[in-house]
């Protein structure tokens, strides 16, 4: 929580450390940033596997199947747009108004953030795999939309502090 009284900043820091009621936004951002980077590492490994021939590219050739996969990819990538916006602040404020404990608010916030990252991962990975399975550039467009949306939700310490109100 924010400190709403007039005391030197170091005493508030000691108070929060002593009673362990402070969310550690730096640790949260490191955990989430690791997951965010893993999205691109795994997508790169998948592309490398297709490029080296370990996975077979061009496996899907039926037009109906290709069409269905393309539609699923486009709809999934469009569904990411609302997730790219930082909308967890209202959720945290509502939980704080209902007087949830701070550790529970932190748990709920982290769960929602991990689910958001999982959605980015699914779309980016689906786009990369689709590109190689159907040999069409629409897979790259889907992966690019997923990547651009995830750029708006980079889990930084300042962003987490802004969304949660905890410093």
Domain boundaries, the chain: 23-164
Q: Between the CA of residue 117 and those of 4, 5, 9, 38, 42, what are the distances in Å?
A: 33, 36, 34, 10, 13
Residue with the bigger pLDDT between 48 and 82: it is 48
Tell me the mean pLDDT in the region 120-148.
93
Percent of the chain scored above 90 by pLDDT?
46
Backbone dihedral region for residue 2 (phi beyond 0: left; psi -120 to 50: alpha; all else: beta): beta
pLDDT of 167: 65
Residue 113's φ and ψ, nearest 5 degrees, are: -65, -40
Q: Whole-angstrom Cα distance, residue 35 to residue 128?
A: 18
Q: Between the CA of residue 19 and those of 13, 16, 26, what are the distances in Å?
A: 10, 5, 18
Quick: pLDDT tens for 84-114. 887 788 888 888 888 888 888 888 889 989 9
* Residue 123, Cβ density class (10 Å: 0-12 exposed, 13-18 middle, ≥19 buried): buried
Quick: pLDDT tens for 15-36. 444 444 456 888 889 999 999 9
């Amino acid at each position: 929580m924010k400190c709403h009284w007039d005391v030197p900043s170091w005493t508030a820091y000691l108070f929060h450390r002593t009673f362990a009621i402070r969310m550690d936004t730096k640790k949260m951002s490191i955990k989430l940033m690791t997951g965010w980077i893993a999205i691109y590492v795994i997508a790169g490994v998948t592309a490398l596997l297709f490029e080296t021939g370990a996975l077979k590219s061009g496996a899907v050739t039926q037009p109906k199947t290709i069409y269905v996969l393309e539609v699923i990819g486009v709809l999934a990538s469009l569904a990411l747009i609302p997730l790219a916006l930082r909308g967890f602040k209202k959720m945290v404020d509502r939980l704080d108004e209902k007087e949830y404990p701070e550790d529970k608010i932190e748990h709920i916030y982290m769960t929602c953030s991990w689910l958001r990252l999982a959605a980015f991962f699914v779309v980016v990975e689906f786009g990369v795999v689709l590109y190689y399975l159907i040999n069409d550039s629409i897979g790259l467009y889907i992966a690019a939309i997923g990547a651009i949306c995830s750029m708006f939700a980079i889990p930084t310490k300042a962003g987490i502090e802004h969304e949660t109100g905890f410093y």
